[in-house]
Structure 1
Amino acid sequence: MEEENGGKPEAEAEGEKRWRFGANKALAAAGGRSIRGTLNKVIACVEETGPRPMITLGNGDPSLFPSFRTTPIAEDAIVEAVRSAQYNNYAPTNGLLPARQAVAEYLSKDLPYQLSPDDVFITAGCAQAIEIVITALARPDANILLPRPGFPMYEARCTFNHVEMRHFDLIPEKGWEFDLDQVEKLADENTVAIVLINPNNPCGSVLKYEHMKEIAKTAMKLGIMVISDEVYDHLTFGSNPFVPMGALGDIVPVITLGSISKRWVVPGWRLGWIITTDPKHILRKTKFVDSIRSYLDITTDPATFIQGAVPQMINNTKADFFNNIIHVLRDSAEISYNRIKDIKCITCPHKPEASMFVMVKLNMSYLDNISDDVEFCSKLAKEESVIVLPGSALEMKNWLRITFAVEPTSLVVAIERLESFCKRHERVEQISPG
């Protein structure tokens, strides 16, 4: 076309203005890694005129279901904060002092030392906490060690900030423990951090204290910090108790990320935190904390009235509320595991014992006319109106992440539809995986 127009671009040849702006390719690349983007593509496959309502086992938001409604304590705290007229103003960039004090006291209960409000930075949910920490770490040639499978927000933020990602494997046969030999081989002089998610999304596992100590020692040996994503803290119902990584802060500096989203079942309230669990003050000596403060000065804050409600929420919520949520999750995890393990084409290597998810592996040799996990999820959505997340979104091709934090009756129906789908697409003659 340029030759036909005397070498000029087509737009100029036709007398049109050539604009100098366009899409940000880094944003497009980062957005392509998101869970939301992947799920939206799967949901688009659902037949609008289908005879059955859609059931989503794709994301970790059970707040719409009656069994997972938040406590009235939290709702009353929000109402009182709004009606007090004390929280209509801007908050300090690191968060309101009472909110930081309440979070510090809440987290200190599980630590061998007392956190200070100065160790706490309030954020707009855990997602913004990830954004801030990855941005603060970004520098030319830096790389970060990320778990596979993991939470793709880390990959998205690394992509946007031009930070190299190096993935190490979690081992399903060992309860999704770290492959620490691989971690050491991946690290070099430009490695700045390793990410840990515990309790785990997407695996539904809880790390043992002994293994966490080995992770801390490995990070210390490599001279890197640990970013510990603990947004599902205490949502455990198996044999392994939750231990915060900050308990090992005397071995290696730990940045702990968390929020009220999951334990109080209010993800839309967008209140999270960054914690420097670092009794030796290495993060301050290296000026990393200064980078966090600098970023907070140029970003948005969580709503002030939400911050104002935090002390009442944390201090007044009864144990019965938390115990009930755990009870429902435990029952739902049992339903998922026991029913899914009877489906031929799906293998569940580890029974979920925490969070809201389970990772299962597809055996493609049992399936006909389905090429991979993305096609499996797309056809499942179209034929059964059931939504699950393809493992490819988590760097795990031909795996699925299934959310069991839904109403138990809906969960049973969804798994029945999943089983029907698998039977309908079952290969008559099984082919060898090799």
Structure 2
Amino acid sequence: MESGVVGVNHECKTTSTITIKGILSLLMETIDDGSSKRVISLGMGDPTLATCFHTTKVSEDAVADTLQSHKFHGYAPTAGLLQTRNAIAEYLSRDLPYQLSSDDVFITSGCTQAIDVSMALLARPGANILLPRPGFPIYELSASFRQVEVRHYDLLPEKGWEVDLDAIEALADQNTVALVIINPGNPCGNVYSYHQLEKIAETAKRLGTVVIADEVYGHLAFGANPFVPMGIFGSTVPVITLGSLSKRWIVPGWRLGWFVTNDPCGTFRKPKVVERIKKYFDLLGGPATFIQAAVPRIIKQTEEVFFKKTVEILKYTSEICCKKIEDIPCIFCPCKPEGSMAMMVKLNLSLLEDISDDIDFSFKLAKEESVIILPGTAVGLKDWLRITFAADPSALAEGMDRIQCFCQRHAKKQ
């Protein structure tokens, strides 16, 4: 799910639509091949790049066993294997006041495909969708392909990246088809409280729109707020939950995601709606059948200690990041991350010389210090930076020290 679009113009590299992976590739190209410094990437949200994050043996054994069983070499049903849908329905229902069934669950190739499915199913002439800023740009890319108008509402850094509900009220109209929330937050590292989610649900109900809840970082919360799924409020407003194994199980390359309708009141169970969803899935190819077949065992046999360890590491690395930022005057963290794997920091350009914006900062940092971070423009906030803290502690500390040296070198003379 680590992609998106951004416009960039740097040293003759000009494009109007470049993915997050694309801009990170350009940053890698900027690194001086003759540098003796090892490359430290704090830009890509792929925990498998760090040695301190790895999936469970149960997960690997489950996939190996289903592959070697010779039972899962053929096509899966377009909505996904029934046992896989049942397992995900049971897994998500643990945190809900009602029970999901396999009919509510559709298997996708990662959360990215789930995002595109939601855009395709909600698209209609004149439709618009409300997206968070900063946010995950793949929504905007998908909406543009579906000719769905994008309207951005702000997340408020001074309030822990809460949703600006007044902005949502002002932006929405009769053509608004969905409100998107990302919780735990990418790129901000925020985690919404029960009360905040309740207010979002009530606002969406009042506006007569669906909520798309991107929960790919579900349960990766280590602050004051525990993770609360938006589906809890499915009786208040129809919710489409998007998720995957990618982050919690540390297997983003397995591309096992889901599109789930949380709707006890039955809006998504109307025959025409069900038919539309099923027909659209007939167009798609989901994850490999043998990986789908491994999901029930993966979910059932993964022990809580594995999840606890992952969260503890993320909390520790986030604290390293925040502590190091305190010693860098030109970078400001408005609030400490409480979940996910990334955080946003504000760049104070007035304290720097010969740095024009966040993109310029990121490219010069890559060239001079061999450290990769994502310019905030890539996620909708100019002159901010996204730092991924899902990294080995030693590499993260060294990377932050190099950022400090870079900022000192470019500091405006007093």
Same fold (TM over 0.5): yes
Match of 1:419 among 392, 404, 407: 404
Partners of 1:186 and 1:288 lie apart in 2 by: 26
Partners of 2:21 and 2:369 lie apart in 1 by: 20
User: Which residue number corresponds to residue 10 of structure 2?
Assistant: none
Q: Percent identity?
A: 55
User: Which residue number corresponds to residue 373 of structure 1?
Assistant: 358
How far 1:129 moved relative to its partner? 0.3
SS of structure 1 residue aligned to 2:328: coil
User: Which residue number corresponds to residue 11 of structure 1?
Assistant: none
User: Which residue number corresponds to residue 244 of structure 2?
Assistant: 259
Partners of 2:262 and 2:183 lie apart in 1 by: 15
RMSD of Structure 2 on Structure 1 (CA): 1.4
8 Å contact kept, 1:30–1:157: no
Equivalent AA in structure 2 for residue 293 of structure 1: K
Partners of 1:227 and 1:30 lie apart in 2 by: 30
Partners of 1:44 and 1:119 lie apart in 2 by: 44
**2:298 is aligned with 1:348:** no
Provide TM-score, normalisation by structure 2.
0.95
Closer, same or farther in 2 for the Cα pair 1:294/1:190, shift >3 Å? same
Equivalent AA in structure 2 for residue 207 of structure 1: Y
SS of structure 2 residue aligned to 1:258: strand
User: Which residue number corresponds to residue 312 of structure 2?
Assistant: 327
**2:189 is aligned with 1:204:** yes
User: Which residue number corresponds to residue 235 of structure 2?
Assistant: 250
How far 1:286 moved relative to its partner? 8.1
**2:201 is aligned with 1:216:** yes
Partners of 1:33 and 1:245 lie apart in 2 by: 31
Partners of 1:45 and 1:288 lie apart in 2 by: 49
Match of 1:171 among 142, 150, 156: 156
1:49-91 deviation per Cα after TM superposition (whole angstroms, max 9, x unaligned): 2111111000110113221011101000011010111110100
How far 1:31 moved relative to its partner? 8.2
Compare CA radii of gyration and give the structure with the larger one: 1
Partners of 1:348 and 1:202 lie apart in 2 by: 13
SS of structure 2 residue aligned to 1:328: helix
- Which residues in structure 2 correspond to 1:91-170 (within 5 Å)? 91-170=76-155
**2:270 is aligned with 1:285:** yes
Partners of 1:154 and 1:108 lie apart in 2 by: 26
SS of structure 1 residue aligned to 2:30: coil
Partners of 2:51 and 2:358 lie apart in 1 by: 31
User: Which residue number corresponds to residue 187 of structure 1?
Assistant: 172
**2:303 is aligned with 1:318:** yes
Equivalent AA in structure 2 for residue 193 of structure 1: A
Equivalent AA in structure 2 for residue 374 of structure 1: I
Equivalent AA in structure 2 for residue 231 of structure 1: V
How far 1:283 moved relative to its partner? 2.0
Equivalent AA in structure 1 for residue 226 of structure 2: P
Partners of 2:154 and 2:63 lie apart in 1 by: 41
User: Which residue number corresponds to residue 225 of structure 1?
Assistant: 210
SS of structure 2 residue aligned to 1:141: coil
Match of 1:42 among 27, 33, 57: 27
User: Which residue number corresponds to residue 393 of structure 1?
Assistant: 378
SS of structure 1 residue aligned to 2:387: strand
Provide TM-score, normalisation by structure 1.
0.91
Partners of 1:130 and 1:291 lie apart in 2 by: 16
Equivalent AA in structure 1 for residue 134 of structure 2: P
Partners of 1:269 and 1:112 lie apart in 2 by: 30
Partners of 1:31 and 1:305 lie apart in 2 by: 39
8 Å contact kept, 1:33–1:153: no
Closer, same or farther in 2 for the Cα pair 1:31/1:138, shift >3 Å? farther
Which ranges in structure 2 are unaligned for 5 or more consecutive residues?
1-13
SS of structure 2 residue aligned to 1:261: coil
Q: How many matched pairs?
A: 401
Partners of 2:134 and 2:49 lie apart in 1 by: 27
1:283-322 deviation per Cα after TM superposition (whole angstroms, max 9, x unaligned): 2338444332222111211100110110110000011111
Partners of 1:327 and 1:286 lie apart in 2 by: 45
How far 1:38 moved relative to its partner? 2.0
How far 1:33 moved relative to its partner? 5.1
Partners of 1:337 and 1:252 lie apart in 2 by: 37
8 Å contact kept, 1:31–1:37: no
